Structure 1
Amino acid sequence: MTDDRTRDTAFGFRRVAEDEKQGLVNEVFAKAAERYDQMNDLMSGGLHRLWKDDFVTMLSPPKGAQAFHVLDVAGGTGDIAFRIVKAGGSGTHVTVADISPEMVGEGRKRCEREGLLSRCDFTVGNAEALAFPDKSFDAYTIAFGIRNVTHIDRALKEAYRVLKPGGRFLCLEFSHVDVPLLDRIYDAYSFTVIPAVGKVVTGDGQPYRYLVESIRTFPDQEAFRAMIEEAGFARASYRNLTGGVVAIHSGWRI
């Protein structure tokens, strides 16, 4: 019988042993954590802010005092969590779980600066093995994180497990451009400009080359929609933004 230690998986364009990938991903985000939000602005020309605003608008947290508990996985620096609590009412609370201690540390510092410590919790956690009870969250969000997990199917099953019946899964992720010519421009920009900017800002362009490569190896919109459905979610769907540069995927626990 083949075990996980002898299987390989994609780490960008490289193939690595499955049990090595998470450590390599952790190294990427440990290097990028301090400048992560700054780099998002530079890499996307600020578009990531609009994408995240659309994402939270789709979630539509309730405005009143009713309890609405969101689990934001791979939420690192709190960018999504802060948007959610500001968009929702006094009953909206977000728990952020990220596998990178460095990213969680940055998130906590930002949360304190934002004055939101009473409405956000930060914890180090693995998307493939969440330390939360079954049926404990009203919504599960993950933005630009699911392509970095070793077993996407396990992460999706964990998302389903921790959601309450009627709970919503929302994922914002880079996807496959479906506009002629834009795809070529996007490729040229991604593989030349982004690693170069990363090297100037952080002193190391390699983490950003991995991030660009990981986008190209992630399933396209329809393939990922099918994976969400296979994990048990109903009404699995997606909406492209910016010609498919990113997509918002949705599903509901029944």
Structure 2
Amino acid sequence: MSQKLANKVAIVTGAASGFGTGIATKFVQEGCKVLIADLNAEGGQKVADELGCSFAVADVTNLEHWKALLEKAGAEFGGLDIVVNNAGVTYVNKPTETVTEKDFDLVMNVNVKSIYMSATACLPYFLENQRPGVFIQIGSTAATRPRPGLTWYNASKAAVMNATKTMAVEYGPHQIRFNCVAPVVGSTGMTHLFLGKPDTEENRAGFVSTVPLGRASTPADVANACSYLASDEARFITGVNLEVDGGRCV
């Protein structure tokens, strides 16, 4: 492997499964020291054991949990270089007028408030230590090409993209980079919610037919994009929304 992330330390949220596991795997392969954060204690520890990295149970909407993650990264690895905000949720695809307040609060808290919490906890560390940093948010093509039935999920990802671009401008002078990676739907634990029906090859076929490259996104696709953006190869890249979507948004 190229080891493009050698001597780097990263926190990857929601890494007990799906895209998060793919990102953590790629980062470890590239020489990064990774702290996996997830509410799923059993799943997160299992991935950490398999990859030989660290794990902590964390609620990404809780500031004290973020402070604990930062402290753990410093204690175990000597600091922090990269924050990957991968944890995210959705509600089942349904008419907007039937979306409950609980549904709304869920996507706004986990998808948007978590970004606020990560910045609130970690930005002072980078600023006070005059240390370059990288924040990568896992967004969605829903932010730029929204489709019916997921209005408030789409809106949450649009907020993530906008906040990322804003912070890229604000903190660029401090050499702290903010970027988004926007996957098209893949086969993860949330796919059935996006589809509004079971995640089967037959049910995905209609959606996949709209992707010019002819398939859904994979954890490896997302991980490769994150690895590049986290590396020094991308040191002049900030404020981008990188669509990893096989041409879906064209």
TM-score, length basis structure 1: 0.46
TM-score, length basis structure 2: 0.46
